[in-house]
A and B are shown apart, each in its own frame.
Chain A
Amino acid sequence: MSEPVFTAESTPMLALGYRFQWEPAQNCNVLLYPEGMVKLNGAAGEILKRISEKKQSVAELISELKEAFDGADLDDDVYQFLEEAYNNDWIRAE
């Protein structure tokens, strides 16, 4: 396994040219990029929505998600998703 890209202090940002939006015709959140679209499931949508709306660290992102979802234990899931999204070139780390 390679070293993880994201730590509590890093700031995830959408990759250059990527845009997040709610898509009524698909009834889901999507990521749009040059000539393409990814449909997002509920959890991915919640995470990427926050990343697209404001610049914050992973720790802040997680605490915001916990607040929104009744303190659920979601740290591992978030880290796992961020790595996956990074490998798909959807996000970058600052």
Chain B
Amino acid sequence: MTGSEQNKQAPGSIGSSIGNVRDQIRQPLWLLAELTYACPLQCPYCSNPMDFAKVKSELSTEEWLDVFRQARAMGATQLGLSGGEPLTRPDLVELISEARKMGFYTNLITSGIGMNADKVAEFKEAGLDHIQVSFQASTEDLNNLIAGTDAFQHKIEMARAVKANGYPMVLCFVTHRQNIEQMEDILDLAVSLEADYVELATTQYYGWAMHNRDQLLPLKEQLVKAEAVAHRYQEEQKGNMKVYYVVPDYYEERPKACMNGWGNVFLTVTPDGTALPCHAARELPGMTLPNVRDLSVNEIWNGSDDFNKFRGFDWMTEPCRSCDEKEKDFGGCRCQAFMLTGDPANTDPVCSKSPQRHLIDEALERGRAESEKSVIDQKPLVFRNPKNSKLISGL
């Protein structure tokens, strides 16, 4: 999975323009189709589940199209085609073309690896609305790019193809402690590629990223610098390139309005057909994990325990329950609350009102302590690949 769908709070995102949760019939407006866990990359900040190697049977073309049709009939307009790397699905063009005919606004979320000018033209022909290319920008990768290796040439060529086919160029960089100091290089690269939008997404700590958290959490002083750089480019590039910068939630006083509310607008379907209210929810305790192979999307969205679990406000504990900001952020992220406090109904510990905020501060301190160790003593990053996945999940 690339970084962008981790950050659904960009201004004008679907949730914010759709308005108040309470007055609204809940519709799965945003369908995120994780087409595959196959990926040529091994990003240690991936939010895919660590045991992804367990998934053996991906939904077929016809099964995906059936899911698309059902969700579309329930009001879905946005379709995210993600993964893994969606370009590894041989039926991608067919999926795009059929989804577009159904009236979806189709978003391809890709690393660009495996893409070429012909493919971009083919996607355009199939009716693809939007391509978002994520740059990995690990130190080595970024250095390679800047040094002008083949990879860099490939990115330029592809970026040109994206523009030549009439798409706005949308780039996403996932930042973390190892690359955040290269913000200026990252933005210069974006300028030289004539990007229209750049999203400086911050790593969110789920899946592989959670496992590697001590090595990925940025330091306060890094953030201060990066933010200044981002703001400078926002000013300088006004009218040319829009720069979105998101502060990592660990450094915020209030939690993110995760998924714009549980079971409110987002529906994720994973490669094997498991339906989730968000892409990390598989790891919560007591989930029934309904599958589109057994139940209709309507039954899952409206009737399943999973999707009803944290809808509305009745499930909340204190301090959320009596908080006057609960309708703004819905108590934050259920997965983060569970991973850090052990109870998914607790307040997201990012919130300064949470009695467990110290867990976040301690994580930040552990990250700092790790960063101060000599290189030899630092824990190595665990990379997301099938071998590590099998090791970790005991396969």
Q: Which A residues are closer than 8 A to B by beta carbons?
A: 16-17, 19, 21, 23, 25-26, 30, 32-39
Interface secondary structure of B, over-half rule: loop
Q: Which B residues are closer than 8 A to A by beta carbons?
A: 8, 10, 12-14, 17-18, 27, 29-30, 73-75, 77-78, 80, 103, 105, 107, 129-130, 132, 166-168, 170, 196
Given that A16-B166, A26-B75 are known contacts, is A32 also in contact with B129, CB under 8 Å in the complex? yes
Is there contact, CB below 8 Å, between B196 and A36?
Answer: no
Which residue in chain A gives the minimum CB-CB distance to B78? A35
The one of B75, B105, B166, B168 that contacts A32, using a Cβ cutoff of 8 Å: B105
Is there contact, CB below 8 Å, between B74 and A39?
Answer: no
Given that A16-B168, A30-B77 are known contacts, is A35 also in contact with B107, CB under 8 Å in the complex? yes
Q: For residue B73, which residues in chain A have a CB less than 8 angstroms away from its CB?
A: 25
Given that A16-B166, A16-B168, A17-B167 are known contacts, is A37 also in contact with B77, CB under 8 Å in the complex? yes
Given that A30-B77, A37-B77, A38-B17 are known contacts, is A19 also in contact with B166, CB under 8 Å in the complex? no
Q: For residue A32, which residues in chain B have a CB less than 8 angstroms away from its CB?
A: 77-78, 105, 129
Is there contact, CB below 8 Å, between B75 and A25?
Answer: yes
Q: For residue B166, which residues in chain A have a CB less than 8 angstroms away from its CB?
A: 16
11 new A-B contacts at CB < 8 Å, known A17-B168, A35-B80, A37-B17: A17-B167, A25-B74, A32-B78, A34-B105, A34-B170, A35-B8, A35-B78, A35-B107, A36-B17, A36-B78, A39-B18
A57 to chain B, nearest CB (A): 22
Chain A to chain B: the 4 pairs with minimum beta-carbon distance, closest first: A25-B75, A32-B105, A34-B130, A16-B168
List, sorted by A's number, 26 A–B pairs whose CB atoms are closer than 8 Å: A16-B166, A16-B167, A16-B196, A17-B168, A19-B129, A23-B77, A25-B73, A25-B74, A26-B75, A30-B77, A32-B78, A32-B129, A33-B12, A34-B129, A34-B168, A35-B8, A35-B13, A35-B30, A35-B80, A35-B107, A36-B13, A36-B14, A36-B78, A37-B17, A37-B78, A39-B17
Q: For residue B14, which residues in chain A have a CB less than 8 angstroms away from its CB?
A: 35-37
Q: For residue A26, which residues in chain B have a CB less than 8 angstroms away from its CB?
A: 75
A15 to chain B, nearest CB (A): 9
Q: For residue B129, which residues in chain A have a CB less than 8 angstroms away from its CB?
A: 17, 19, 32, 34
Q: For residue B74, which residues in chain A have a CB less than 8 angstroms away from its CB?
A: 25
Is there contact, CB below 8 Å, between B12 and A36?
Answer: yes
Which residue in chain A gives the minimum CB-CB distance to B10? A35
Q: For residue A33, which residues in chain B have a CB less than 8 angstroms away from its CB?
A: 12, 105
Instruction: Give A36 to B10 CA distance when docked, in angstroms.
Output: 10
Q: For residue B130, which residues in chain A have a CB less than 8 angstroms away from its CB?
A: 17, 34
Instruction: Give A30 to B78 CA distance when docked, in angstroms.
Output: 12
Given that A34-B130, A36-B14, A37-B29 are known contacts, is A19 also in contact with B105, CB under 8 Å in the complex? yes
